[in-house]
Structure 1
């Protein structure tokens, strides 16, 4: 796992402030085929709990959070104190065979080895269970968002989705995909927090961080984004699900 993949713990507050929640309809769709009175879900790469909270809100679910960074799990426990948190990765899960009805990954599959992760998640998810993958990505069809992305630089997730490169492997079957368009009002501070939560910026030299901050401020000045006002950030939520073979 790369340094960028494990860098987020140093910016937990920025991650929580700057990253959006997941649309409830998208989370529900990922887990639509998961049966049971109380569904057992593993949230892998759970971070500060954005997706964990979305899964819990569906009701009739228990969630175990797994993340490689103990700092992220500590932040998760501030909002979801009853959720068990375990340090681990998609390729090495600290869980027994067949204990989960489903596994979900939010903003995380682009960091894993998809073959090894599919195999390991397939060990933990029961036959007929579900693997769900989800991302919130900025909709760059809007001019100012495209310019913002040029200042902040792209991400591996955006590249993977743009190139239709999302793939899972045995023992999971073919992927289904759905997309949702929506927007989030964001203040200048929230937009800066969103930028600070990105792995490229977390691991960048100080001069690069300063360049990005200056570029963002110049763009926001041009757009008239002042204290007390917001911009509607257009998002595209892309979700996938696959069924574990029997």
Structure 2
């Protein structure tokens, strides 16, 4: 591989594959239309799931009928994906070293991933494997900070991020504009992640790369802060089932002819 995976990803995701499956929210139903109408996916198309992780988005891509090639550099995540989604072709690779021929795929989708490798070099490589007119989709699930207690939850997490790339900083946008692609276009959807506090709050936070990479004592302190937050919020305190509100941001850029 030509590039190095960020240390937060290699350290955190090696141990957090199970937590990632338990704690990460699904995507809203509107994504089905986005994949078919905006990205043009159907049974005649081939799509790369780039930075596929454990396959949280892979099932959405398979549901379009497209041939799915899941590319992921962290072996523990890729192994989980291969077991969960055997119909996808699971391969080891990175955004700057895709194991595919030129102009061989119709779309590349980065779900919860592009911020890890946002660069001109990655976009060069993505453009190389895309056919003319092919589409790059970038999609993220984001906690909705319009709900009063969510910024407090985010503050617990963000205080520990260090140099980890994150969507909310906007640094990933510096990779655009890129000469191979047209302008980014965005659609936004709202939904909720409902379940036990253990899964939708604790396991979601624990699955964050830089938190999963912390020593056990520091991870325990994060859990303590989360418990204190829950106890202080009437919407969360004493509830067996809670809903964490999310906004999904879905971007598309089209490769030129």
**TM-score by structure 1 length?**
0.91
Report what 1:77 is aligned to: 82
Task: Report how many aligned residue pairs link the two structures.
Answer: 244
The RMSD of aligned alpha carbons is: 2.2
Report what 1:47 is aligned to: 53
Which of 167, 171, 180 is equivalent to 1:171? 180
> Is it true that 1:237 corresponds to 2:251 in the alignment?
no
The alpha-carbon distance between structure 1 residues 221 and 165, as it changes in their structure 2 partners (threshold 3 A), is: farther
* Deviation (angstroms), 1:223: 3.4
Could you tell me how far apart the structure 1 residues matched to 2:191 and 2:80 are? 26
The alpha-carbon distance between structure 1 residues 66 and 168, as it changes in their structure 2 partners (threshold 3 A), is: farther
* Deviation (angstroms), 1:227: 7.7
Deviation digits for residues 159-192 of structure 1 (CA, Å, limit 9, x no counterpart): 228x966735231111101111111213121021
Tell me which moved more, 202-211 or 122-131: 202-211
Which of 9, 17, 28 is equivalent to 1:5? 9
**TM-score by structure 2 length?**
0.87
Which of 147, 165, 168 is equivalent to 1:158? 168
On the 8 A contact 1:187/1:227 being kept in 2, the answer is no
The alpha-carbon distance between structure 1 residues 74 and 33, as it changes in their structure 2 partners (threshold 3 A), is: closer
Q: Unaligned stretches of 5+ in structure 1?
A: none
On the 8 A contact 2:43/2:67 being kept in 1, the answer is no
Which of 15, 30, 33 is equivalent to 1:28? 33
After superposition, residues 109-188 of structure 1 pair within 5 angstroms as 109-153=114-158, 156-160=166-170, 167=176, 169-188=178-197
